[in-house]
Amino acid sequence: MSQENLDEFKEHKEQVVAGAKAIYNMGLVQFGEGNVSVRVKKADEFFITPSQNDYARMTVDDVVHLKMDGTQISQGKPTSSEYKLHVAIYRARPKVNCVIHTHSPYASMLGLALKEIPVIFEEMVIFLGGPVRRAPYTQSGTDDLGRAALEAMGDTNTCLLTNHAVVACGRDLDKAVKAASLVEKMAMIYWGALQAGHVETVPDDKIDKFKDMFKGLFSTAPRKKAD
Protein backbone atom coordinates (compact mmCIF):
# COMPACT_ATOMS: atom_id res chain seq x y z
CA MET A 1 0.00 0.00 0.00
CA SER A 2 1.40 3.39 -0.93
CA GLN A 3 2.06 6.19 1.53
CA GLU A 4 -0.53 8.26 -0.30
CA ASN A 5 -3.27 5.71 0.47
CA LEU A 6 -2.21 5.49 4.11
CA ASP A 7 -2.56 9.24 4.47
CA GLU A 8 -5.96 9.17 2.81
CA PHE A 9 -7.27 6.65 5.34
CA LYS A 10 -5.66 8.42 8.29
CA GLU A 11 -8.30 11.12 8.06
CA HIS A 12 -11.15 8.60 8.09
CA LYS A 13 -9.67 6.87 11.14
CA GLU A 14 -9.17 10.18 12.93
CA GLN A 15 -12.80 11.05 12.27
CA VAL A 16 -14.03 7.75 13.73
CA VAL A 17 -11.91 8.34 16.85
CA ALA A 18 -13.14 11.95 17.16
CA GLY A 19 -16.78 10.85 16.87
CA ALA A 20 -16.28 8.01 19.32
CA LYS A 21 -14.60 10.26 21.90
CA ALA A 22 -17.36 12.86 21.45
CA ILE A 23 -20.23 10.46 22.19
CA TYR A 24 -18.25 8.89 25.04
CA ASN A 25 -17.50 12.26 26.63
CA MET A 26 -21.19 13.21 26.41
CA GLY A 27 -22.20 10.03 28.25
CA LEU A 28 -24.06 8.53 25.29
CA VAL A 29 -22.01 5.29 25.45
CA GLN A 30 -19.87 3.37 27.92
CA PHE A 31 -17.09 0.82 27.34
CA GLY A 32 -18.13 -1.70 24.70
CA GLU A 33 -21.38 0.00 23.72
CA GLY A 34 -22.47 1.65 20.51
CA ASN A 35 -20.40 2.41 17.42
CA VAL A 36 -19.34 5.14 15.03
CA SER A 37 -18.56 4.77 11.32
CA VAL A 38 -17.40 7.01 8.48
CA ARG A 39 -17.94 6.20 4.82
CA VAL A 40 -15.13 6.13 2.25
CA LYS A 41 -16.67 8.05 -0.63
CA LYS A 42 -16.90 6.20 -3.97
CA ALA A 43 -15.27 3.07 -2.57
CA ASP A 44 -18.07 0.90 -1.12
CA GLU A 45 -16.07 0.82 2.11
CA PHE A 46 -16.19 2.43 5.53
CA PHE A 47 -14.30 2.73 8.81
CA ILE A 48 -15.92 1.72 12.11
CA THR A 49 -15.16 1.38 15.82
CA PRO A 50 -14.04 -2.13 16.87
CA SER A 51 -15.90 -4.73 18.89
CA GLN A 52 -15.72 -4.08 22.66
CA ASN A 53 -14.45 -0.58 22.07
CA ASP A 54 -12.54 1.06 24.92
CA TYR A 55 -13.55 4.67 24.18
CA ALA A 56 -11.28 6.27 26.77
CA ARG A 57 -8.12 4.66 25.36
CA MET A 58 -8.94 4.13 21.71
CA THR A 59 -6.57 5.34 18.98
CA VAL A 60 -6.58 5.33 15.18
CA ASP A 61 -4.94 1.89 15.32
CA ASP A 62 -8.15 0.43 16.78
CA VAL A 63 -10.36 1.60 13.90
CA VAL A 64 -11.58 -1.16 11.57
CA HIS A 65 -11.71 -0.86 7.76
CA LEU A 66 -14.61 -2.79 6.23
CA LYS A 67 -16.13 -3.39 2.84
CA MET A 68 -19.90 -2.89 2.64
CA ASP A 69 -20.29 -6.67 2.29
CA GLY A 70 -18.72 -7.09 5.74
CA THR A 71 -15.28 -8.24 4.59
CA GLN A 72 -12.67 -6.83 6.96
CA ILE A 73 -9.80 -5.10 5.13
CA SER A 74 -7.75 -4.02 8.14
CA GLN A 75 -5.65 -6.28 10.34
CA GLY A 76 -5.97 -6.03 14.10
CA LYS A 77 -9.16 -5.60 16.07
CA PRO A 78 -12.41 -7.20 14.88
CA THR A 79 -15.29 -5.03 13.75
CA SER A 80 -18.22 -3.97 15.87
CA SER A 81 -20.81 -6.75 15.63
CA GLU A 82 -23.43 -4.14 14.74
CA TYR A 83 -21.81 -3.12 11.44
CA LYS A 84 -24.83 -4.34 9.43
CA LEU A 85 -26.92 -1.48 10.83
CA HIS A 86 -24.38 0.95 9.37
CA VAL A 87 -24.27 -0.86 6.01
CA ALA A 88 -28.08 -0.77 5.74
CA ILE A 89 -28.10 3.01 6.19
CA TYR A 90 -25.17 3.66 3.82
CA ARG A 91 -26.78 1.52 1.12
CA ALA A 92 -30.20 3.18 1.48
CA ARG A 93 -28.87 6.74 1.75
CA PRO A 94 -26.05 7.85 -0.55
CA LYS A 95 -25.92 11.25 1.21
CA VAL A 96 -24.95 9.70 4.54
CA ASN A 97 -21.23 9.82 5.36
CA CYS A 98 -21.41 9.01 9.08
CA VAL A 99 -23.56 6.67 11.19
CA ILE A 100 -23.63 6.67 15.00
CA HIS A 101 -25.32 4.18 17.29
CA THR A 102 -25.48 5.00 21.00
CA HIS A 103 -26.92 3.40 24.14
CA SER A 104 -27.93 6.74 25.68
CA PRO A 105 -30.12 6.33 28.79
CA TYR A 106 -33.14 8.61 28.34
CA ALA A 107 -33.69 7.57 24.75
CA SER A 108 -33.39 3.95 25.93
CA MET A 109 -36.02 4.51 28.62
CA LEU A 110 -38.45 5.94 26.08
CA GLY A 111 -37.87 2.96 23.79
CA LEU A 112 -38.68 0.56 26.62
CA ALA A 113 -41.81 2.54 27.42
CA LEU A 114 -42.77 2.24 23.71
CA LYS A 115 -42.75 6.04 23.37
CA GLU A 116 -41.70 8.22 20.44
CA ILE A 117 -40.50 11.81 20.86
CA PRO A 118 -42.91 14.34 19.34
CA VAL A 119 -41.68 17.71 18.13
CA ILE A 120 -41.18 19.51 21.44
CA PHE A 121 -38.45 21.95 20.22
CA GLU A 122 -38.21 23.57 16.78
CA GLU A 123 -34.57 22.42 16.55
CA MET A 124 -35.77 18.83 16.33
CA VAL A 125 -37.15 19.67 12.91
CA ILE A 126 -34.02 21.56 11.81
CA PHE A 127 -31.40 19.01 12.89
CA LEU A 128 -33.31 15.71 12.98
CA GLY A 129 -36.07 16.22 10.44
CA GLY A 130 -39.02 16.02 12.86
CA PRO A 131 -40.18 13.64 15.59
CA VAL A 132 -37.98 10.76 16.72
CA ARG A 133 -39.93 7.63 15.85
CA ARG A 134 -39.36 4.17 17.28
CA ALA A 135 -38.36 0.92 15.61
CA PRO A 136 -39.75 -2.23 17.26
CA TYR A 137 -37.35 -4.71 18.87
CA THR A 138 -35.12 -6.61 16.48
CA GLN A 139 -32.06 -8.63 17.42
CA SER A 140 -28.75 -6.76 17.30
CA GLY A 141 -26.27 -7.76 14.62
CA THR A 142 -29.00 -8.83 12.17
CA ASP A 143 -30.17 -7.36 8.87
CA ASP A 144 -33.58 -6.88 10.48
CA LEU A 145 -32.22 -4.13 12.74
CA GLY A 146 -31.18 -1.99 9.78
CA ARG A 147 -34.46 -2.54 7.98
CA ALA A 148 -36.51 -1.65 11.06
CA ALA A 149 -34.38 1.42 11.74
CA LEU A 150 -34.73 2.76 8.20
CA GLU A 151 -38.48 2.26 8.27
CA ALA A 152 -38.80 4.13 11.56
CA MET A 153 -36.49 6.93 10.38
CA GLY A 154 -38.65 7.65 7.35
CA ASP A 155 -37.37 10.98 6.01
CA THR A 156 -35.59 11.87 9.28
CA ASN A 157 -32.01 11.18 10.38
CA THR A 158 -32.64 9.33 13.65
CA CYS A 159 -34.84 6.83 15.43
CA LEU A 160 -35.19 5.04 18.73
CA LEU A 161 -34.43 1.32 18.72
CA THR A 162 -36.62 -0.53 21.22
CA ASN A 163 -34.46 -2.26 23.87
CA HIS A 164 -31.45 -0.71 22.16
CA ALA A 165 -31.43 3.13 22.30
CA VAL A 166 -30.58 5.25 19.26
CA VAL A 167 -29.24 5.33 15.72
CA ALA A 168 -28.41 8.62 13.98
CA CYS A 169 -26.85 9.51 10.66
CA GLY A 170 -25.62 12.63 8.92
CA ARG A 171 -24.00 14.15 5.88
CA ASP A 172 -20.79 14.37 7.92
CA LEU A 173 -19.39 13.43 11.31
CA ASP A 174 -20.35 16.66 13.09
CA LYS A 175 -23.95 16.47 11.89
CA ALA A 176 -24.29 12.85 13.03
CA VAL A 177 -22.79 13.66 16.45
CA LYS A 178 -25.20 16.59 16.75
CA ALA A 179 -28.15 14.36 15.88
CA ALA A 180 -27.16 11.60 18.33
CA SER A 181 -26.68 14.09 21.18
CA LEU A 182 -29.84 16.07 20.40
CA VAL A 183 -31.96 12.90 20.49
CA GLU A 184 -30.72 12.21 24.01
CA LYS A 185 -31.33 15.79 25.17
CA MET A 186 -34.85 15.80 23.72
CA ALA A 187 -35.49 12.37 25.28
CA MET A 188 -34.45 13.69 28.68
CA ILE A 189 -36.69 16.77 28.40
CA TYR A 190 -39.63 14.76 27.09
CA TRP A 191 -39.22 12.19 29.85
CA GLY A 192 -39.29 14.96 32.46
CA ALA A 193 -42.40 16.56 30.96
CA LEU A 194 -44.13 13.16 30.96
CA GLN A 195 -43.41 12.85 34.69
CA ALA A 196 -44.83 16.35 35.25
CA GLY A 197 -48.02 15.24 33.57
CA HIS A 198 -48.19 17.41 30.44
CA VAL A 199 -46.27 17.73 27.17
CA GLU A 200 -46.77 20.84 25.06
CA THR A 201 -45.66 20.13 21.51
CA VAL A 202 -44.70 22.65 18.78
CA PRO A 203 -47.81 23.37 16.64
CA ASP A 204 -47.75 21.44 13.35
CA ASP A 205 -48.54 24.55 11.32
CA LYS A 206 -45.46 26.37 12.62
CA ILE A 207 -42.74 24.00 11.43
CA ASP A 208 -42.65 24.44 7.66
CA LYS A 209 -39.73 26.88 7.61
CA PHE A 210 -37.72 24.57 9.86
CA LYS A 211 -38.46 21.66 7.53
CA ASP A 212 -36.96 23.72 4.70
CA MET A 213 -33.82 24.33 6.77
CA PHE A 214 -33.55 20.60 7.41
CA LYS A 215 -33.92 19.78 3.72
CA GLY A 216 -31.24 22.29 2.76
CA LEU A 217 -28.65 21.47 5.42
CA PHE A 218 -29.20 18.13 7.10
CA SER A 219 -31.60 15.83 5.25
CA THR A 220 -30.08 12.53 4.07
CA ALA A 221 -33.09 10.60 2.81
CA PRO A 222 -33.27 10.16 -0.97
CA ARG A 223 -35.91 12.33 -2.60
CA LYS A 224 -39.18 10.56 -3.19
CA LYS A 225 -40.34 10.18 -6.79
CA ALA A 226 -43.50 12.12 -5.92
CA ASP A 227 -41.42 15.22 -4.97
Catalytic residues: 82
- Own/partner pairs for 135-144, CB < 8 Å, 24+ apart? 135/159, 135/160, 135/161, 135/162, 136/162, 137/162, 137/163, 137/164, 140/81, 140/82, 140/164, 141/81, 141/82, 141/84, 142/84, 143/84, 143/88
Calculate the alpha carbon distances from 144 to 130, 137, 172 in Å. 24, 9, 25
